[in-house]
């Protein structure tokens, strides 16, 4: 067995606000993923990358190659590690591989003080777009967790949900469930985790916006 098949490393999933719908599936043997995130944040990218998921595991190279083969049909450029796919689909496979999921700070990819401010401003803009009324989703509508339909929240008003007796945002409710399930990265917005009529709210919103645009 070669050395590369038993060497420990990180497999990570990164997203970037300026690349909606794309994720980067990569690997690194650096001491931590933060170093790699800063390396790929070049002058040609206006905002830092955010880590959706990172896991240290043995045979990491084989795991990454397997993911690239499995999702090859969604790869946007054969020479780049970017895929047009829901990150949760990749996470579902990584979850069953033996290893240690890592907690990566939300600002791990920042290289300057202004990066954090820019990211926060962009997040507010993106999260502010979604309103339940846009998709005619009424109060008291039940939303289900994409990993477990037995976990639910209820639409409370145009922007918030009722989760476990508390009025909160979609993202905060998603963070609570993710942490309970043992997931440490929380870069994905709540609309990627809660479902309405068989699809995520993010997919539903895109469908509605496309119809409005037509």
Are 179 and 199 in contact by the 8 Å Cβ rule? The answer is: no
Are 36 and 25 in contact by the 8 Å Cβ rule? The answer is: no
Asked if residue 58 and residue 113 are part of one domain, the reply reads yes
Q: How many domains does the chain have?
A: 2
Asked if residue 97 and residue 142 are part of one domain, the reply reads no
Asked if residue 34 and residue 94 are part of one domain, the reply reads yes
Asked if residue 146 and residue 93 are part of one domain, the reply reads no
Q: At what angle do helices 60-70 and 87-95 cross, to 10 degrees?
A: 140
Using alpha carbons, select from 163, 162, 164, 157 the residue that is nearest to residue 132: 157
Residue that is last in its domain, among 64, 88, 120: 120
Domain of 88 in residue numbering reads as 3-120
DSSP string computed for 9-71: EEEEEEE-TTSTT-EEEEEE-SSSHHHHHHHH--TT-SS--EEEEEEEETTHHHHHHHHHHHT
State residue 140's pLDDT score: 96
Helix ranges, 96-129 (H): 113-129
Asked if residue 33 and residue 106 are part of one domain, the reply reads yes
State residue 1's pLDDT score: 35
Using alpha carbons, select from 189, 190, 181, 179 the residue that is nearest to residue 150: 181
Give the residue ranges of the chain where pLDDT is below 50. Answer: 1-6, 214
For residue 112, give the 3-state DSSP assignment. Answer: coil
**What is the CB-side half-sphere exposure of residue 42 using CA atoms within 13 A?**
2
State residue 5's pLDDT score: 45
pTM of the full predicted structure? 0.64
């Amino acid at each position: 067995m070669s050395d590369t098949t038993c060497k420990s490393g990180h497999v990570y999933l990164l997203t970037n606000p300026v690349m909606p719908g794309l994720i980067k599936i990569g690997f690194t043997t650096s001491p931590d993923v933060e170093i790699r995130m800063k390396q790929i944040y070049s002058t040609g990218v206006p905002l830092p990358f955010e880590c959706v998921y990172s896991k240290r595991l043995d045979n990491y190279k084989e795991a990454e190659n397997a993911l690239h083969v499995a999702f090859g049909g969604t790869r946007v450029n054969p020479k780049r590690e970017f895929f047009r796919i829901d990150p949760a689909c990749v996470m579902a496979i990584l979850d069953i591989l033996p290893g240690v999921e890592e907690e990566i700070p939300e600002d791990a990819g920042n290289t300057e003080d202004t990066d954090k401010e820019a990211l926060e401003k962009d997040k507010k803009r993106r999260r502010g777009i979604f309103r339940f009324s846009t998709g005619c989703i009424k109060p008291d509508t039940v939303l289900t967790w994409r990993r477990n339909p037995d976990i639910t929240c209820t639409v409370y008003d145009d922007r918030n949900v009722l989760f476990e007796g508390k009025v909160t945002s979609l993202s905060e409710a998603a963070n609570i469930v993710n942490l309970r399930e043992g997931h440490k990265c929380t870069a994905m917005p709540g609309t990627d985790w809660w479902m309405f009529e068989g699809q995520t709210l993010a997919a539903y919103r895109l469908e509605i916006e496309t119809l409005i645009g037509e």
